[in-house]
Structure 1
């Protein structure tokens, strides 16, 4: 489906394809016909994933169908002209999956120090919202990490599996950001298997978080809540005397769980998970970036804003959001926060302020803004509902996001 339809317009399109009246669909999602009509005609913003998911379920389509994902990754100097399809081919290379077929590994294993530097480079690129760069580097890195995990022995093999797990995790994170949720699931699932072979509980916890994010992006909110609870039970005994890596991973897992709880409309779980994350942040004592988590008190505050917006508490998000100083955090976190604040401002019809937040985010991370469904939806809805000609700033942004 083209990206120049709003979510409401896609709901109407699929509803008609199903031969379903507004009365029937509204009844299935527990809403009035007036509400659905306003949503389909862009007079009411569909900005909560829990609501969008209920519509997708009633229409028997995926969440991604209504969000119009994935988006096409633009060719840039960072990405070159081989992007997601090359990474898909790498993930589906059966020769790399198992030694049972007796196929020889392709080439000599990369030195672990060199491999670790490459993993760091890609994970740093993700946090800098340079998705094209990370996507271009990942196919070769994945091949190198797989060879190393098969070739090394003993403790070196454990380290190689740790790096393989983190490579899969970086692939899952990037693919999730650009809407390739099925590929992201494959990467996260394989990464969790490699993490368990590494014997490193922090890496295992990190991959649990990636799987939880994949469940979130596919609309399986209750399953994500359950996974976070189960993973926390598995990791909790390790908190005593835990490393800073482990503590950061443990806390960040609950932040992912808080978003799952919000999208499942489960306020008690949101409160519980945010409280647990806050305890871990206070134990850590400051904002940090161990294991690429950007974890600390500020990230907890960011999630207070995001969960409030997901629960429909837009005034809470407006009150808290501008107070959060994200200047010390990685670009990806700062950008995501701006998008959330813009959503809350837009819900209160403060369009100029919301536009300013999106433009600021775009100046930091154009690839991230371009690929985020909420940024695209906000801008497209503003253009649709503008009575006169949109401002030059709004029209230019809409053009850069390819939504008009």
Structure 2
């Protein structure tokens, strides 16, 4: 008995390959993914790593989301999350229409506080609550920003656009995530805020990382570092510079450029040692802990799974660290443990990802793919394992 549908990434890769009249050898040559590895991925005997998925997507000229099966339309519908996407799209469309005479906007201070609360809720993994509230706040703040005309209103609006990006990217709506970032850039320019401008390039680079367009992702990291040089010295500037280096480390790691990845990590660590933990500056959770978490990510991207797990075992994550980031970390640890053949430990990490931020874990592609690989690797499936798979595809 299988807990997850059988239309897995390997099945999709095989289907897409056949639609393009490619042999397995032909696709292997085009993508750079070893022939034997591709065969095992298509057969479900091997998990497709993010690097392999990105390479295969580029070779077949499709998005990474198509191979991963995101968004999970049926599951989103069951959880009534799909109903919340339309209002967000509509809210993003009124950005340049000026103040809406039918909207009575509350004071900017109130809107700023509610925006901050949504940022905190995203970090807490409360995706459904945030998706429910962000559209209305964007509409209201759009009117407030156009009415007041000062930088404060545009900065609050930029923060809300960032939140809509967070929701869209976590649920797998790549086009909506990119639209949210375009609006963030628009608002940041009106606020003349170079720090937000650098942050925009960081988030933009992450969208290209998810789509496997690594060269563009690295160029955006470089552009972000150049953009933020225009900002005056501040903790916010340091945090964004550090976060850009962390993003650059993962992009380089996925591109299997170890020297560049470690160089970015070293620079981020230098900044973190100087400024300490800054978890709420632009809600990026920058600091030594985040450097350690990214080190695990980079080692896994470089296929150094034993070192990734060893580093994770030595890393102490504070109880008050953002739940969404902690859950993502445990998903990556589970992925590395699965590749090492530590199946029980991998499932235990999946359980920790779910316990920490269940809404996020349910729609996390690495959680689903790791679970599917564990399912394929184990002959006997305990009830707790099957129930986890049922939860992944059930109504919340």
1:308 aligns with 2:307: no
Is 1:4–1:402's contact at 8 Å kept on the other side of the alignment? no
* Aligned counterpart, 1:330: 322
How far 1:32 moved relative to its partner?
4.4
Superposed counterparts of 1:375-390, under 5 Å: 375-388=367-380, 390=381
Q: Tell me the distance in 2 between the aligned counterparts of 1:234 and 1:270.
A: 21
Q: Distance between the aligned counterparts of 2:57 and 2:356, measured in 1?
A: 32
Give secondary structure in 2 for the equivalent of 1:291.
coil
Q: Tell me the secondary structure at the aligned position of residue 82 of structure 1.
A: helix
Contact 2:197/2:227 (CA < 8 Å) preserved in 1? no
CA distance in 2, matches of 1:386, 1:318: 21
Q: Is the 8 A contact 1:6 1:381 kept in 2?
A: no
Query: What is the correspondence of 1:250-289 to structure 2 with a 5 Å cutoff?
Result: 250-286=241-277, 288-289=279-280
Residues 196-275 of structure 1 mapped to structure 2, 5 A cutoff: 196-236=189-229, 238=231, 242-275=233-266
Q: Quote how far apart the aligned CAs of 1:74 are.
A: 5.8
State the Cα distance separating 1:52 from its structure 2 match.
0.9
After superposition, the C-alpha distances for 1:238-259 in whole angstroms (9 at most, x for unaligned) are 46xx322222222112111211
Q: Give ranges in structure 1 of 5+ residues lacking alignment.
A: none
State the TM-score, normalized to the length of structure 2: 0.92
Does the 8 A contact of 1:3 with 1:68 survive in 2?
Answer: no
Query: Which residue of structure 2 aligns with residue 12 of structure 1?
Result: 14
Q: 1:396 to 1:191 in 2, by over 3 A?
A: same
Per the alignment, residue 136 of structure 2 pairs with 140
RMSD, aligned α-carbons: 2.1
Q: Assess if the C-alpha contact under 8 Å between 1:50 and 1:264 holds in 2.
A: yes
In 1: Cα distance, 2:289 partner to 2:81 partner:
35
Matches within 5 A, 1:50-199: 50-72=51-73, 73=76, 82-91=83-92, 93=93, 95-99=94-98, 105-153=101-149, 157-199=150-192
Shift of residue 42, structure 1, vs aligned partner: 1.8
> Offset at 1:112?
0.6
CA distance in 2, matches of 1:80, 1:316: 37
User: Where does residue 399 of structure 1 map in the other structure?
Assistant: 390
Deviation at 1:370, TM superposition (A): 0.7
Match of 1:30 among 29, 32, 55: 32
Contact residue 145 and residue 164 of structure 1 kept, 8 A: yes
Answer yes or no: is 1:360 the counterpart of 2:352. yes
Q: 1:350 aligned to 342, 362, 371, which one?
A: 342
CA positional deviation for 1:104 = 5.1
List gaps (5 residues or longer) in structure 2: none
Partner of 2:287: 296
Q: Secondary structure at the match of 2:279?
A: coil
**Aligned pair in 2 of structure 1 residues 371, 31: CA closer, same or farther (>3 Å)?**
closer
Work out whether residues 181 and 204 of structure 2, in 8 Å CA contact, stay in contact via their aligned partners in 1.
yes
Does the aligned pair in 2 maintain the 1:173–1:210 contact within 8 Å? no
User: How far apart are the structure 1 equivalents of 2:82 and 2:47?
Assistant: 36
CA deviation map 1:284-317 (0-9, x unaligned): 1235332211110010010000011012111110
Tell me, in whole angstroms, the C-alpha distance in 1 between the residues paired with 2:44 and 2:83: 36
Give the drift of 1:178: 0.9
Task: Give the C-alpha shift of residue 90 in structure 1.
Answer: 2.2
Contact 1:42–1:385 under 8 Å retained in 2: no
SS of 2:83's partner is coil
Deviates further, 37-46 or 345-354: 37-46
Q: Secondary structure, in 3 states, of the residue corresponding to 1:5?
A: coil
TM-score, normalised via structure 1 length: 0.90
Per-residue deviation, 1:75: 6.0
Distance 2:365 2:17 in 1: 21
Change in Cα spacing, 1:178 to 1:253, as seen in structure 2 (3 Å) is: same
